[in-house]
Structure 1
Amino acid sequence: MTRVVLVHGIAQQYKGAHTLLADWFPALSDGIALAGARPAREDVSMAFYGDLFRPAGHRGLGVPELEAADVEEGLERDLLLRWWEAAAREESQVAGPDAAARLRTPDVVQRALNALSHSSFFAGLSERLMIYSARQVRRYFTELQLRALIQERLVQALSAQTEVVVAHSLGSVIAYEVLCAQPELQDLTLVTLGSPLAVRGLVFDRLVPEPTAGHGRWPAPVKRWANIADRGDVVALAKELAPSFGDRVTDVLVHNGARAHDVRPYLTARETGQAVVDGLGTSGAG
């Protein structure tokens, strides 16, 4: 059991806990170094759940063949459109939606996919990968057994020795829901990176426990919550969590360069390193 537990986001189904940790740990170490400390490898672990999204017995290689017509009405479609709107606001090379909402679903989704292919975040991703990313978010919220299995991976990684949870993207949703359900844990620091937790109509309203009067419940084990976002991150559509979860959340903006949602520049940021060091306290990294 480790002092720092990491929780990844979407589209990691062909990796594993050790693979991701090997990628994340150097970046996290750089951020912590900027905060004047040094983490021990044995103090950090990855709560991995990506394999639960890996297609079983699929004949083809990689992600299943998906096209605009396969996008489901509701969360999948709405998520792609919101990503499109955000990308168009932040990047001049991305054409905006205009009156796209009046088009038939395959038409509007195809326009969204075409536009997002020109964005810095989705550059290099195929249409099917973009669709598959939105689908993983939809499946987390709509498939209760899958949701429970994913959450159990994080529950198994947490222990009395855990002091900090660092969660990226969809991982921040998983971390929030798990910590709300684990009041017996104490004095944890939650660090969320590129989090969509406060995106109303898509994520916020689907959380468990259900928000009350427009406010999400504070997770009982959390003594400190740092939320870190890049202004151009199209996944973290709502950059500030404090208005939705209370003013005890410390919202911090960072600049990640062209790949605004990529976890590595989030981890190398001094602000992330400082949040982890603060969570570890006087007995923090060496």
Structure 2
Amino acid sequence: MSEVLGVHGIWNYQTVTPEVAASALATKWAAFLGVEEERIAVAYYADRLRLGSHGGDAELEALNRALGDQPRELLLAWIAELGWNASEPQGWGAAPLRGLLDWFVQRFDLSRQTVDRFVAAFLSEVSQYLDLQDSGPRQAVRSVVGAAISTHQPRVVVAHSLGSVVAYETLWAYPRLKVDVLVTVGSPLAIPGRVFPVLQPTPVDGRGRKPPGVRKWVNFSDVGDAVAVPKNLAKYFEGVDEDTNIATGMFWTHEVSHYLRNPQVRAGILGLS
């Protein structure tokens, strides 16, 4: 049993056994939180998405074709939420993925390498998890996370990035699982078009709901986090008890370390006053 169970986000695939990968992630998360390792475990599921590398032009375009243009649709919905105007004369709406990634370079003044690695990983993993044509990876990931919650019986589940989507759906898929506090950080749960509308269960009248086994839901979004959009999940989900925007003072703040080291987030996870 562990007091806290983490559910990781994108970019965590490791070429080791799942047990070793989970242990390594737990060690890192404990250090970020400043707690003893025995207090935290992490549910590792990246291997169930069959990912090892990301970002090459040929690889990303091949993934886009294999998933029926879903990565490109996700990118269009994502950048529209971040402020891209489809009517702009650049013609990015009809551009290949490489051209659409150019928008991130210009919008956030990032290096090409940063954009290639991070955005491509996000598109790959989110699209594979939410693949409308193949539910196998989605079910496998939820099974792993559900088993971890059942085994560790944590008081708190901390779900980062894609992990917030996974945890939300897992807790709905296994309603007998009980969690005192669900803490979502850097969550893309409300991204329109390719995330929010295809959640399971499907939102009703534009609203999702807190999973039945969760007593309290706390959400943190960094104002500089380009993945946690739209901000303020309480606008889209009934039962979000606390919805807090934080500012780490850092740019491109999606890394889980930035959240777990934040005093407000740490207090929300550990029940500090």
1:76 match: 71
1:98 match: 88
2:148 match: 157
2:216 match: 224
Residue 262 of structure 1, aligned match among 232, 255, 265:
255
Counterpart-to-counterpart distance in 1, 2:184 and 2:31: 18
Counterpart-to-counterpart distance in 2, 1:12 and 1:104: 31
Q: Contact 1:66–1:128 at 8 Å: present in 2 too?
A: no
1:182 match: 174
2:242 match: 250
RMSD: 2.9
Percent identity over the alignment is 31
Q: Contact 1:187–1:221 at 8 Å: present in 2 too?
A: yes
1:35 match: none
Deviation at 1:161, TM superposition (A): 3.1
1:7 match: 7
2:18 match: none
Deviation at 1:203, TM superposition (A): 0.9
Greater relative CO (CA pairs within 8 A, separation 6+): 1
Residue 17 of structure 1, aligned match among 19, 22, 27:
22
1:34 match: none
TM-score, scaled to structure 1? 0.79
Residue deviations 1:98-120 (CA, integer Å, cap 9, x gap)? 245575342xx333212324536
Q: Contact 1:88–1:96 at 8 Å: present in 2 too?
A: no
Number of residue pairs matched by the alignment: 259
Q: Contact 2:145–2:170 at 8 Å: present in 1 too?
A: yes
Counterpart-to-counterpart distance in 2, 1:26 and 1:12: 17
Q: Contact 2:26–2:37 at 8 Å: present in 1 too?
A: no
Q: Contact 1:84–1:97 at 8 Å: present in 2 too?
A: no
Query: 5 Å matches for 1:184-223?
Result: 184-223=176-215
Q: Which moved more, 1:216-225 or 1:179-188?
A: 179-188
TM-score, scaled to structure 2? 0.83
Q: Contact 1:97–1:112 at 8 Å: present in 2 too?
A: no
1:43 match: 39
Matched, 1:239 2:244: no
Return 5+ residue gaps in structure 2 as ranges: 16-20
The one-letter code of the counterpart of 2:137 is: L
Counterpart-to-counterpart distance in 1, 2:23 and 2:111: 25
The one-letter code of the counterpart of 2:27 is: A
CA separation of 1:244 and 1:101: change in aligned 2, threshold 3 A: farther
CA separation of 1:88 and 1:133: change in aligned 2, threshold 3 A: same
The one-letter code of the counterpart of 2:187 is: S
Counterpart-to-counterpart distance in 1, 2:243 and 2:169: 19
Return 5+ residue gaps in structure 1 as ranges: 30-38, 57-61, 90-94
1:52 match: 48
Q: Which moved more, 1:250-259 or 1:239-248?
A: 239-248
1:113 match: 101
The one-letter code of the counterpart of 2:149 is: L
Q: Which moved more, 1:62-71 or 1:229-238?
A: 62-71
Deviation at 1:25, TM superposition (A): 1.6
Counterpart-to-counterpart distance in 1, 2:137 and 2:72: 21
Counterpart-to-counterpart distance in 1, 2:45 and 2:184: 17
Counterpart-to-counterpart distance in 2, 1:64 and 1:77: 14
Deviation at 1:153, TM superposition (A): 1.3
Deviation at 1:267, TM superposition (A): 0.6
Residue deviations 1:173-208 (CA, integer Å, cap 9, x gap)? 000011112222335200000101112212111111
| Partner SS, residue 114 of structure 2 | coil
